[in-house]
Structure 1
Amino acid sequence: MAKKVALIGTGGTISSLGADGFDVQDYGRHGRILDSAGMLERFPRLSELADVVPVDFPPVLSTEMGFAHWTRLAAEISRLAEDPDMAGVVILHGTASMEETAYALNLGLTVDLPVALTGAQRPASAISGDAEANMMAAIRTVLAPEARGLGVLLVLNEEIQAAREVTKTSVWRLQTFRTPDFGVLGHADAHGVEIYRRPVRAHTVATEFDLAAMEILPRVDISYAHAGADGTAVRAFVAAGAKGIVSAGFAPGLTPPAEHAALAAAVGSGVVVLQSSRAAGRVADLTGLQKAGILPADNLTPQKARILLSFALTLSSDPAEITRMLRSY
């Protein structure tokens, strides 16, 4: 009997239909989005790989995706994990915020059921579309014993990426998702699933977070450094009630003097501030950061540092504890 794989369709380009096969950019104007059952009808060959079970989920633009949707996904995956015959879960998701949903689930899922997110750069109706191929690769991945224990995964373009490390790098190209510095975990294609490295940071059942049980996330904002930044955004975030701020600074973790002063003042007012970078790579615990009480965000992108900080603040605002979590996850 074929193994069961749940297919949760949240919307996005992968589930969208354009006017015709050439409509590959402004297709969203039509508002035509297939649910998971509709995707199985459009791509029936998926059922040759597994007993694919469609799961109802309200379609949502990935630009609208946020905490409420993450908690619902976590609860749904926990429910699916109660089925002893369920081998894994594939989530169809818009690529704009896919990496953030993946990392939130990576931190906050309390079950070890294999989960892979996939999407597409071209709508389901496109000539030379990538929707079916990406879904096939994602299904193969969650079925593969080799892919277990890797945390939540992104699978597109036949590449398997770790939720913590991957980021979108191109607006239109199919190879948009990349992991700077480290590269892919492995590949999933017609020849099988091959894994070449494994993440070492804690994830899913090994973390202290429970996303499905969270009721609210503390406000955490991102301040993007640029030439001439004067701290206006930082002060506005503090005034809006931010409990945490992530600074997306210049490499290797620097900001203009006025911005740095505003961040230091935020720390003085009780806000937890992380220093990340606009560029790829690790932000070290530089002397200037230490003096200001700003914590280095390791190699997390600003958007992922924001998620980890918001999760961490549900448990503690102690800088030492936040630092421990940054090193753990």
Structure 2
Amino acid sequence: MSLPRVAFIGTGGTMASLGRHALDIQDYSTLGQVMATETIMARVPELAMVAEVIARPYGAVISSRIGFKDWRALAEACHAAVDEIPGLAGIVIGHGTSTMEETAFALSLGLKIDVPVVMVGAQRPATGLSSDMPMNLLNAVRVAACPDARGMGVLLMLNDEIHAAREVTKTATWRMQTFRTPDFGVLGQADADKVAFYRRPLRKTAPNTEFDLRTMESLPRVDITYAYADSDGTAVRAFVAAGAQGIVSAGFAPGNPTPWEAEALAEAVKGGVTVVQSARVGSGRVVAGAKMREQGILAGDNLNPQKARILLAFALTVTRDPAEIARIFETY
């Protein structure tokens, strides 16, 4: 019986990094040694036991530098893999953990392929003592090859846990269990005997969206302003002056900026900037109350600020109608 075929696109990150010695699990990035996709695979020969893994080189990129240009390039790389590899069961993308949740959400909004795409990274470099890279990569390949993973959009796999791109966020600086889905929990787990799913996302996801990353030349500028005691709206006015077409307010729970920041956001709306209210707490919905509706500010639902920023930027590529943007936030 032949094994499933899975493409592996490596972009660098901790999982591809080499340290000076086994205890170098903090400053390894200063060494600047990053493995190519094929070299990463060679360090995990057990991959051959679960799938025929096909390397698709991309290039090493520090995840803190990854943004729209790489999202579009990765979308093109995923489509090319599907076109060029007969019978492809799924795709795994190796990625640094800093922005992995954002890349995952962007791809989940803008891909037009129906094979599973699984993002994977590591909290410790490949050379680190008890590195999580080998098992994370092996499990990501298993999930990508699993028929039950189809139709869930882009998934994220770390620490034996499977998360939905829309819902997951990084919650700890160093811990292995850093990725969490605060409101709803994991979709499933990759255990020793099988990949087990227990729920499916309900919001629309790739490929059944109104967005296509490959056709986007750029994204409109969307910034995030963070609420804190005494925040006075200076950041909001600076973003507007810099040409922001959208602003996400990361407000206090349940979704309120300071009065002074609220004034600046209301001014921005009057000036034609689309404002979406999110919350800085990382869990729970923001609801469009009477005051928000009066000011023309839209609700970000339960998306964290960084995810709300991506969805607002995507929405602004297809419409500037506030009602339509509100619909998009209720859909994805």
Q: What interval of TM-score do these two structures reach, taking the shorter chain for normalisation?
A: over 0.9
Q: How does 1:225-304 map to 2 (within 5 A)?
A: 225-279=227-281, 280-304=283-307
Question: Residue type matched to 1:322 in 2?
Answer: I
Looking at structure 1, the residues matched to 159 and 9 of structure 2 have their Cα atoms a distance apart, in angstroms, of: 19
Looking at structure 2, the residues matched to 16 and 208 of structure 1 have their Cα atoms a distance apart, in angstroms, of: 36
Q: Any stretches of 5+ residues in structure 2 without a counterpart?
A: none
TM-superposed deviation, 1:223? 0.3
Instruction: Output one character per residue of 1:264-312: Cα deviation in whole Å (capped at 9) or x when no partner.
Output: 0000000000000011110001122111110010000000000000000
SS at match of 2:319: coil
Match of 2:25 in 1: 24
Looking at structure 1, the residues matched to 91 and 327 of structure 2 have their Cα atoms a distance apart, in angstroms, of: 30
Looking at structure 1, the residues matched to 129 and 297 of structure 2 have their Cα atoms a distance apart, in angstroms, of: 49
Looking at structure 1, the residues matched to 184 and 226 of structure 2 have their Cα atoms a distance apart, in angstroms, of: 24
Structure 2 residue 128 is matched with structure 1 residue 120: no
Looking at structure 2, the residues matched to 153 and 205 of structure 1 have their Cα atoms a distance apart, in angstroms, of: 13
Question: Residue type matched to 2:326 in 1?
Answer: T
Looking at structure 1, the residues matched to 219 and 200 of structure 2 have their Cα atoms a distance apart, in angstroms, of: 29
Question: Residue type matched to 1:128 in 2?
Answer: S
Match of 1:38 in 2: 39
Q: Any stretches of 5+ residues in structure 1 without a counterpart?
A: none
* CA contact 2:159–2:177 (8 Å) conserved in 1: yes
Structure 2 residue 51 is matched with structure 1 residue 50: yes
Looking at structure 1, the residues matched to 58 and 317 of structure 2 have their Cα atoms a distance apart, in angstroms, of: 27
Match of 2:172 in 1: 170
TM-superposed deviation, 1:84? 3.0
Q: What is the TM-score when the length of structure 2 is the normalising length?
A: 0.98
Match of 1:308 in 2: 311
* CA contact 2:43–2:134 (8 Å) conserved in 1: no
TM-superposed deviation, 1:209? 0.1
Looking at structure 1, the residues matched to 232 and 88 of structure 2 have their Cα atoms a distance apart, in angstroms, of: 53
Looking at structure 2, the residues matched to 137 and 271 of structure 1 have their Cα atoms a distance apart, in angstroms, of: 43
Question: Residue type matched to 2:323 in 1?
Answer: A
Identity %: 56
Q: What is the TM-score when the length of structure 1 is the normalising length?
A: 0.99
Looking at structure 2, the residues matched to 197 and 42 of structure 1 have their Cα atoms a distance apart, in angstroms, of: 33
Question: Residue type matched to 2:123 in 1?
Answer: Q
Match of 2:71 in 1: 70
TM-superposed deviation, 1:56? 1.0
Give structure 1 regions of 4+ aligned residues with deviation exceeding 4 angstroms.
none
Looking at structure 1, the residues matched to 290 and 156 of structure 2 have their Cα atoms a distance apart, in angstroms, of: 36
Match of 2:324 in 1: 321
Looking at structure 1, the residues matched to 50 and 234 of structure 2 have their Cα atoms a distance apart, in angstroms, of: 53
TM-superposed deviation, 1:189? 2.2
Question: Residue type matched to 1:307 in 2?
Answer: I
Looking at structure 2, the residues matched to 2 and 24 of structure 1 have their Cα atoms a distance apart, in angstroms, of: 34
Looking at structure 2, the residues matched to 192 and 212 of structure 1 have their Cα atoms a distance apart, in angstroms, of: 34
Looking at structure 2, the residues matched to 2 and 146 of structure 1 have their Cα atoms a distance apart, in angstroms, of: 16
- Tell me the number of residue pairs that the alignment of Structure 1 and Structure 2 aligns: 329
